[in-house]
Amino acid sequence: MSERPATAGLVHGMGKDLAEPDWSPLTAAEVSAVLARYGPPGAAAGNAAAAITWHSPRPMSAAALVRRGGAVLFVKRHHTSVRTTERLVVEHAFARHLRVRGVPVPVVLRGPGGVTTVERGGFVYEVHGAASGVDLYRDAVSWSPFSSLSHARTAGATLARLHQAAADFPVAAQSPGVLTTCCDVITAADPLAAVSLILAQRPGLARYLSERHWQQDIARHHLPAIGRAAPLLKALPRQWGHGDWHPSNLTWTSTTADAAVAAVLDFGLANRTFAVHDLATALERSTVGWLDLPGSGRADADYDAIDALLDGYETVRPLQPAEAAVLPEVLPVVHLEYALSEIEYFADVVRSRGNADLAYGTYLLDHARWFAGPEGSAVLEHLRRRAR
């Protein structure tokens, strides 16, 4: 299904190195055809040609900044095996809900009849207004840290405001799928049965895991933490969250170390989980040096960044005692469902066995293994001391 053009620009890979893209880059003709479907007063007035000014280096979709007439837009293309129109409609509704409540989220363009997507040639497109502010981290690969403690602190405060705004979004949780996050497994009374249920619905993932001793691996590396986290999570209210809170999904008011958050981007992993699950994801994404793990076997934690992000969060939305207690228990397994969905993406959509193996061994297993080791255990104890 994927295209890997040798002449295309490189994009972010699964580690520190750049890689060839999974998907061919957007073209000006393609974008113009998509924008024409929105029509006036949507993308831009008249029939002005679209000019692509920047291609996103994110690897799992194709996206670009586009100038058309006097408007600057962000156009993103997904293969329908990765994202469906129905799923994007929910994502856009959530973004609109947050925007109405004051969270700085770029506007999603609407075409005739209020539709927010365009389907074309086996792909689905979405168009957003350009985000305000400076995209300081747009060239940073995933899991890159905040460049200053002030950035971590203001990002934590912004996440707390997002959670306050999201608390009354009523849509039910989205089911597991390719490149999605949820908490079906880590809240289950029988987590292995919950994974089996996902496999019954996701044959591509099932084919890959049939070659792995996944029951034994999850039992060894995840079940102890799930056993601690699940009972505590069940006492908390569920709500929607961002799902992928890290520096490059935010824009900033300036290039300085004390810049504030200007806009919040990319709700592709948003779902109905728990506020503390979303907060744990934010810590997992940006305060542990995961990119060093495959080469060195080590991943250093940034305790100052952990505290800055949490302190910023709690200036706006103080954690309830039950939330503070569950945070260190959910952190070691907060990545589990997304890692499974990423394995499916690589194994079944773009057919990259090497990346599927990396997602299984390094991301699914080694991240949980790290939290059970001395470095990760020290992080969890630090969070337990904060809770006390």
As a whole number of angstroms, the distance between CA 118 and CA 85 comes to 8
pLDDT at 370: 97
Q: Is residue 137 part of a domain?
A: no
Beta strands in 21-61 (DSSP E): 50-55
Q: Do residue 225 and residue 190 come from a single domain? A: yes
As a whole number of angstroms, the distance between CA 141 and CA 248 comes to 8
Upstream peptide bond of 170 is cis (omega within 30 degrees of 0): no
Those residues whose C-beta lies under 8 Å from the C-beta of residue 270, and which sit 6 or more positions away, are 91, 94, 240, 241, 242, 243, 244
Q: At what angle do helices 275-286 and 149-166 cross, to 10 degrees?
A: 160
Vertex 241 angle, CA 240 and 244, to 5°: 145
Given phi > 0 = left and psi -120 to 50 = alpha, else beta, which region is 113? left
Those residues whose C-beta lies under 8 Å from the C-beta of residue 34, and which sit 6 or more positions away, are 75, 118, 120, 125, 127
As a whole number of angstroms, the distance between CA 331 and CA 340 comes to 16
What is the value of pTM for the model shown?
0.94
pLDDT at 48: 67
pLDDT at 249: 96
Q: Is residue 142 part of a domain?
A: no
Amino acid identity for residue 319 in this structure: L
CATH number at residue 42: 3.30.200.20
Residue in the structure block whose two tokens are 């289950």: 188
Side-chain half-sphere exposure of 170, counting CA atoms within 13 A: 0
Q: Is residue 60 part of a domain?
A: yes
Q: What's the token pair of residue 327?
A: 């945070």
Q: Do residue 169 and residue 121 come from a single domain? A: no
Q: Is residue 144 part of a domain?
A: no
CATH number at residue 178: 3.90.1200.10
Q: Do residue 165 and residue 59 come from a single domain? A: no
Q: What's the token pair of residue 38?
A: 């929105």
Q: Sign of the C-alpha dihedral, residues 306, 104, 270, 316? A: positive
Q: Do residue 108 and residue 181 come from a single domain? A: no
Q: Do residue 184 and residue 291 come from a single domain? A: yes
Amino acid identity for residue 128 in this structure: H
Write out the residue range of the structural domain in which residue 214 sits. Answer: 149-387
Q: Do residue 164 and residue 256 come from a single domain? A: yes
Q: Do residue 89 and residue 189 come from a single domain? A: no
Per run of 10 residues, the mean pLDDT along the chain (length 388 residues) is 45 70 92 88 54 91 92 96 97 98 97 94 96 93 91 98 98 96 97 98 98 98 98 97 96 98 97 98 96 88 98 98 98 98 97 95 96 97 96
Q: Do residue 45 and residue 166 come from a single domain? A: no
248-269 burial code (b ≥16 CB/10 A, e <16): bbbbbbeeeeebbbbbbbbbbb
Q: For residue 206, count CB atoms less than 10 angstroms from its CB and return exposed for 0-12, middle for 13-18, buried for 19 or more.
A: middle
> Where among 129, 160, 187 does a domain terminate?
129
pLDDT at 13: 64
Side-chain half-sphere exposure of 154, counting CA atoms within 13 A: 19
Q: Do residue 265 and residue 353 come from a single domain? A: yes
Number of Cβ atoms within 10 Å of the Cβ of 311: 15
What is the per-residue DSSP string for 115-143?
--EEEETTEEEEEEEPPSSB-TTTTSPTT
Number of folded domains that form the chain? 2
Q: Is residue 143 part of a domain?
A: no
Q: What's the token pair of residue 20?
A: 């060839």
Q: Is residue 3 part of a domain?
A: no
Q: Do residue 125 and residue 160 come from a single domain? A: no
Q: Do residue 113 and residue 166 come from a single domain? A: no
Q: Is residue 40 part of a domain?
A: yes
Those residues whose C-beta lies under 8 Å from the C-beta of residue 220, and which sit 6 or more positions away, are none
pLDDT at 279: 98
Those residues whose C-beta lies under 8 Å from the C-beta of residue 163, and which sit 6 or more positions away, are 239, 241, 275, 278, 279, 317
Host H or E run for residue 88:
helix 85-100
Q: Is residue 372 part of a domain?
A: yes
Q: Do residue 228 and residue 326 come from a single domain? A: yes
